[in-house]
Amino acid sequence: MRASTPANRSPLPPPRIHELSPEEQSVYATLDPERVPQHVAIIMDGNGRWAGKRLLKRFLGHKQGAESVQFVVETASRINLPWLTLYAFSLENNLRRPKSEVSFLMTLLKNYLVGNVKRMNDNNVRMAYIGRTHELPAEVRDTMQWASEETARNTGTTLTLALNYGARSEIVDATRSILTNLIAEAHKRGCSLEDLLQVDGLETHLDEQHITGHLYTANMPDPDLVIRTSGEQRISNFLLWQIAYAEIFVTDRLWPDFRGLHLLEAIAAYQQRERRFGGLGEGTDEHLAGLEPASEVAEEISTELSGQASPVLTRR
């Protein structure tokens, strides 16, 4: 399922900083409001360990984790974070966890939605979903649809829950959808797929933009910041395409202990990072304006490789 959200959002309403707790306000005061990320994605991990440490059953960790979700969403909405995406249930969770745990997580999700739609509306939060949600139980899908319809008119944070989600299968689904469209196009033009590609050129029909446009997240900006709780340094098949240039923040805190304050701390750490998107950083001593022309560099490198140059490449 795609997050059903318009590409051109209406402007966000003013932030509600006065509703942050005093602790949150003091972290928020250190932030540059102009550089709050557009999209934060969170891998919520550690529910089982949280429960284990307290000698509780795993499901109580998930229950407490659902409470954290609401705290974090409300802080996100108060600071006007436009997009918050939470990895709530992976394809692998669905396949590899005991049926009883999967069934508990489904009931928890349903109860969470029913119990929190009013708070979502009070906080101007819109609900969306990504993943192979058509494979979820019908009554869960009905509740999901109800929650997204009830919150569809909200203009603040879009909360996207990744459910029965896997990044590789998302890429497979996108590729299948591109192929299906191409076959339909060939059919419309009365030619074979091979002829269509030969006439138009493969690059006309398949480039990065096409793949991006067929992902579940087609209408969303890429995450700027990925947070993972519980100290694991893994991405676990989450938004693999979209996080190509995201900053990653790992905290040892277990998800059921994670609050809005910790979201703000992660954003503060993010603001200390220098994002380079494959280019040169601002702190580099090689500024683009001062670089030699490519032809001169090529000549210099070729002389260097042939062993005729001074030991160090010259720099302007």
Judged by CB under 6 A, the stretch of 108-116, 137-145, 233-241, 289-297 that binds ligand FPP is 108-116
Q: Which long-range contacts (CB under 8 A, 24 or more apart) does 5-10 make?
A: 5/126, 5/128, 5/158, 5/219, 5/220, 6/219, 7/219, 9/82, 9/155, 10/155
Q: Which of 3, 41, 44, 125 binds ligand FPP (CB under 6 A)?
A: 44
Backbone angles phi and psi of 176, in degrees to 5? -60, -40
Catalytically active residues, by annotation? 45, 93
In three-state form (DSSP H/G/I as H, E/B as E, the rest C), the secondary structure along 163-216 is: EEECHHHHHHHHHHHHHHHHHHHHHHHCCCHHHHHHHHCHHHHCCHHHHHHHCC
Q: Which of 37, 46, 156, 260 binds ligand FPP (CB under 6 A)?
A: 46
Distance CA 48, CA 65 (A): 10
From residue 284 to residue 303, the character string flagging contacts with ligand FPP as x (rule: CB under 6 A) and all else as - is --------------------
Is residue 143 at the binding interface for ligand FPP, with CB under 6 A as the rule?
Answer: no
Is residue 166 at the binding interface for ligand FPP, with CB under 6 A as the rule?
Answer: no
The smaller minimum CB distance to ligand FPP, of residues 117 and 161, is found at: 161
- Residue 52, annotated as binding a ligand: no
- Residue 78, annotated as binding a ligand: no
Q: Which of 161, 225, 239, 266 binds ligand FPP (CB under 6 A)?
A: 161
Backbone angles phi and psi of 101, in degrees to 5? -70, -40
Is residue 112 at the binding interface for ligand FPP, with CB under 6 A as the rule?
Answer: yes
- Residue 49, annotated as binding a ligand: yes
Distance CA 269, CA 247 (A): 10
Is residue 133 at the binding interface for ligand FPP, with CB under 6 A as the rule?
Answer: no
- How far is CA 72 from its chain centroid? 15
- Residue 208, annotated as binding a ligand: no
Q: Which residue is nearest to ligand FPP (CB)?
A: 48
Judged by CB under 6 A, the stretch of 58-66, 76-84, 140-148, 211-219 that binds ligand FPP is 58-66
Q: Which of 20, 72, 81, 88 binds ligand FPP (CB under 6 A)?
A: 88
- Residue 146, annotated as binding a ligand: no
Is residue 66 at the binding interface for ligand FPP, with CB under 6 A as the rule?
Answer: yes
Is residue 259 at the binding interface for ligand FPP, with CB under 6 A as the rule?
Answer: no
The smaller minimum CB distance to ligand FPP, of residues 140 and 174, is found at: 140
Distance CA 22, CA 20 (A): 6
Q: Which of 65, 131, 223, 260 binds ligand FPP (CB under 6 A)?
A: 65
Distance CA 43, CA 32 (A): 25
* Beta-strand runs (E) in 56-177: 83-90, 126-130, 158-165
Judged by CB under 6 A, the stretch of 9-17, 47-55, 75-83, 214-222 that binds ligand FPP is 47-55
Q: How many CA atoms lie within 13 A of 248 on its CB side?
A: 16
Residue closest to 2 by CA, chosen among 182, 175, 220, 159: 220
Is residue 109 at the binding interface for ligand FPP, with CB under 6 A as the rule?
Answer: yes
How far is CA 22 from each of CA 18, 26, 261, 264, rounded to the nearest angstrom? Answer: 9, 6, 10, 12
- Residue 295, annotated as binding a ligand: no
Shortest distance, CB of residue 229 to ligand FPP, whole angstroms?
9
Which residues sit in the known binding site for substrate?
Answer: 46-50, 58, 62, 90-92, 97, 228, 234-236
